[in-house]
Amino acid sequence: MSKHAVLYRMMTDEHICPFGLRSKDLLERQGYEIEDHYLRSREEIDAFKEKHQVDTTPQTFIDGERVGGYDDLREFFGKGEAGQQGTSYTPVIAIFGVALAAAIGMVLPGDLVSMPTLMLFIGFAMILLAVQKLQDLHSFTNMFITYDLLAMRHLRYAYIYPFVEAYAGIGMISGFSAWLVAPFSLFIGVVGAISVYKAVYVDKRELKCACVGGSSNVPLGFVSLSENLFMIVGALLMMFM
């Protein structure tokens, strides 16, 4: 016996509701036959809300009973809340994973376990981390100045930091002269490592890491310290290789 659901979702010339599409996809994956109703205008949407005494669309009905919006539908099927909740290392894993893949791609078919591979990995990782910060400098700096010792005293350093990180990463990949790149990477790496160590391991503060931007849920600690240690290692490799 087929399962049947009725879905009402916004579909106007100006806007297609993403949660309506997500509700439809979720119902399909659960094996439901969907009676899909489009709300084509503001008047239709307002009339629907008033009739069913709801504040939002989409709305799903199963067996004649209103389940609710997309989050309610996920709960109905035991899927939990939508989106990323709480602490997540996903952005960090994605960045380091892509950086490693790019580094390996650059050295193939040569020796994968080598200093050039490590240098490329560090360079790509620094660039990707810098891009995350540069997407929203205001949010990044708000988080960064709460633990970086130099940024606390000189706010402008927080705004300069991601540009320096990007420059150092590009320099490592492009083969710039070590003395044009390494000092910058070494400086921000050392200051960052000391700052993170003090905040986390000395002061025992529970903070969010700004390493992947100001909207991250990555806790300040090992990941942040690793980012700075990579910068230091990259700088030393450039100077002494």
Query: In the chain, what are the domain boundaries?
Result: 3-76, 90-240
Task: Return the residue matching tokens 């942040």.
Answer: 224
Buried-exposed string 148-171: b where 16+ CB fall within 10 A, e elsewhere: bebbeeeeebbeebbebbbbbbbb
Q: What string of pLDDT tens digits covers the 241 residues of the chain?
A: 579 999 999 999 889 999 999 999 999 999 999 999 999 999 999 999 999 999 999 999 999 899 999 999 999 999 876 655 555 678 888 999 999 999 999 988 878 888 889 999 999 999 999 999 999 999 999 999 999 999 999 999 999 999 999 999 999 999 889 999 999 999 999 999 999 999 999 999 888 888 888 777 788 888 889 889 999 999 999 988 7
d(CA 117, CA 124) in angstroms, rounded, equals 11
d(CA 239, CA 241) in angstroms, rounded, equals 6
What pLDDT, on the 0 to 100 scale, is given for residue 14? 87
Residue type, 68: G
Task: Return the residue matching tokens 């591979």.
Answer: 117
Task: Return the residue matching tokens 């067996």.
Answer: 63
Tokens of 84: 């990323």
- Read off the DSSP letter of residue 218: P
Rounded (5°) CA angle 75-2-18: 45
What pLDDT, on the 0 to 100 scale, is given for residue 82? 62
d(CA 47, CA 10) in angstroms, rounded, equals 12
What CATH number is given for 3-76 in this structure? 3.40.30.10
d(CA 194, CA 11) in angstroms, rounded, equals 53
In whole angstroms, what separates CA 130 from the centre of its chain?
12
